[in-house]
Amino acid sequence: MSQPAVLTERRGNVVVITINRPEARNCVNGAVSTGVGDALEQAQHDPGVRAVVITGAGDKSFCAGADLKAIARRENLYHPDHGEWGFAGYVHHFIDKPTIAAVNGTALGGGTELALASDLVVAEERAAFGLPEVKVGLIAGAGGVFRIVQQLPRKVGLEMLFTGEPISAADALKWGLINQVVPNGTVLDAALALAARVTVNAPLSIQASKRIAYGADDGVIPDEEPGWARTTREFATLLKSEDAKEGPLAFAEKRQPVWKAR
């Protein structure tokens, strides 16, 4: 019997959402987007939930991004009824409750974008963050391109975008991309401890503070909408290019891509 793609667990007034595809490095398919998106929406509307923690199953990877095999099969990677929630049902799905990413391993591509979409981030020492999409002729289309330069010094963020190279958890902490680095195997407990420090406070005050901090109205962050529109437009143009076909093909064939800039 196959395991569900997403597990949810209530820990007091905190909901823990686990992407449960360790055999696929917790990469995101439609089932993950549906499970995460629905769990997030339920948390938003449950007055007993004061915070959300998102993590990955196993000890290798928090999330390795999109499921390339599902893409090759032309499967829908988004929630079937709420495509507006974006990648993993999470990156464009604002809720008033604080969200904490417990990064239990590598967080590359979409994994880093999940962290960027979270309010707080706790990472294990072995964690790594990166946006390697340029290595395969694509861009970080789930908010990564504009959020990385908002959350890091611009030149640090641009170096990550242009080189596609990852940074360590220690460097992510140094640059303020994450809140804590903890010993391997302890990240969920550390994230729950951080959640406890948050949820001891007045919930309505926290929710109002979050809305104001993000400039959010009715679940939308207006300042980010041009970034989303620009990303969608640029991605659509890129996908028509020869390089966007060459990148994934070279990756699949385990060879260096031959770029043509067209």
Output the CA angle 198-5-194, nearest 5 degrees. Answer: 15
Give the distance, in angstroms, between the CA of residue 158 and the centroid of all CA atoms in the same chain.
18
Q: How many CB atoms lie within 10 A of CB 51?
A: 27
Q: Confirm whether 113 is a catalytic residue.
A: yes
The residue length of the chain stands at 262
- Check 113, 225, 234, 246 and give the catalytic one: 113
Per the CB < 8 A criterion, the answer to whether 216 and 94 are in contact is yes
- Check 9, 84, 133, 159 and give the catalytic one: 133
For the chain, list the strands marked E by DSSP. 6-11, 14-19, 51-56, 61-63, 99-103, 106-108, 120-124, 128-130, 167-168, 180-182
Q: How many CB atoms lie within 10 A of CB 152?
A: 21
Q: Confirm whether 133 is a catalytic residue.
A: yes
Enzyme catalytic residues? 113, 133
